Amino acid sequence: MPEPESPLLVVGSVAFDTIKTPHGKQERILGGSATYFSLAASYFTDVRVIAVVGEDFTGAHEAVMTDRGVDTRGIQRAKGKTFHWAGEYGDNLNEAKTHLTELNVFEDFKPQVPAEFADSGFLFLANIDPVLQAQVRSSMPGVQLTGGDTMNFWIGGKRRELQETLKLVDILLVNDGEAKMLAEDNSLPRAAHKIRAMGPKAVVIKHGEYGATIFFADNKHPFRAPALPLDEVRDPTGAGDSFAGGFMGYIASQGKLDREVLKRAMFYGGVMGSFAVERFGTERLQSLTREEIEARFELFRELTHLE
């Protein structure tokens, strides 16, 4: 394990999202996996971002991250427009219908690790092409702990490359459907077992409104963190990336990586996910306090713990 407070680097997308939910519609608001992740993680540790944006990405957009202390020197500027996603959530808010995916500058994204980022002890490979994920990991020999995400698109389209990348990932975070598809097994515990055989020492499977389960090396005693039963979910976009940010951010803030740290990291992941969905886009993640986070952590404990 790296030193506590060794910086956490994330490589992923910075994007503009056009989002429609039963609670309203917002056009081209700041989003992307690296954005949600870094904002969520910024409440726990020093965070650095590698991503690419276009000419429509302004200083005001960047300030959303830098105001939270996020080091954005790894955000490349390219000619053209920033990645744009447009989607809509129906009444149950569990699944988005994609209306539009304009990759724009993201299509030719070649992640570059700035020299100043080489001392990052923790790395999170957000959901990008597994070939790029592996390149970033390989270019950072000093990294001690690597978390990773992926999605059905890569599982289906680049399974071989993804399996090479998984050998470099210590903790994989995926949702139910991705875990089942990756493992080709409909039982989540068995799927976790099979995924760990591909490389990751631990697997976190996210169940949306039902929380998330971490399967450890022995596969005997997993641990389950709840999600908060919220009356109103305004915008589910970024919930998974915010979970990952809270999870990795808390781990990076600790000096050790034992079972108890991972369990608490699961709770902090759920906490940050629950905040993210209360408002559109990253709004709620921009203005939290550590006190609000700790209060919600206690609510999660109350939600699950016997006396």
> C-beta of 125: minimal distance to a second copy in Å?
25
Contacts with a second copy by CB under 8 A lie at 91-93, 186-190, 193, 207, 209-211, 213, 215, 221-226, 229-233, 260, 263-264, 267, 299, 301-307
In whole angstroms, how close is the CB of 230 to a second copy at the nearest point? Answer: 7
Q: Give Cα separations from 23 to 27, 30, 96, 163, 231 (angstroms).
A: 14, 18, 14, 39, 12
Bridge-based pairing state of the strands 212-215 and 202-206? antiparallel
> Backbone dihedral region of 150: left (phi > 0), alpha (psi from -120 to 50 degrees) or beta?
beta
**Whole-number minimum distance, CB 263 to a second copy, in Å?**
6
* Cβ closest to a second copy, residue 72 vs residue 237: 237
Identify which of residues 35 and 213 has a Cβ nearer to a second copy in the complex: 213
Closer to a second copy by Cβ: residue 15 or 181: 181
Nearer to a second copy, 154 or 300 (CB): 300
Minimum CB–partner distance for residue 304 and a second copy (Å): 5
- 187 or 287, CB closer to a second copy? 187
For the CB of residue 306, give the shortest distance to a second copy in the complex, in Å.
Answer: 6
CB of 221 to a second copy, least distance (A): 6
CA angle (285 as vertex; 21, 246 as ends), nearest 5: 110
> Given the complex with a second copy, which of 198 and 303 has the nearer CB atom?
303
CB of 91 to a second copy, least distance (A): 5
Nearer to a second copy, 79 or 305 (CB): 305
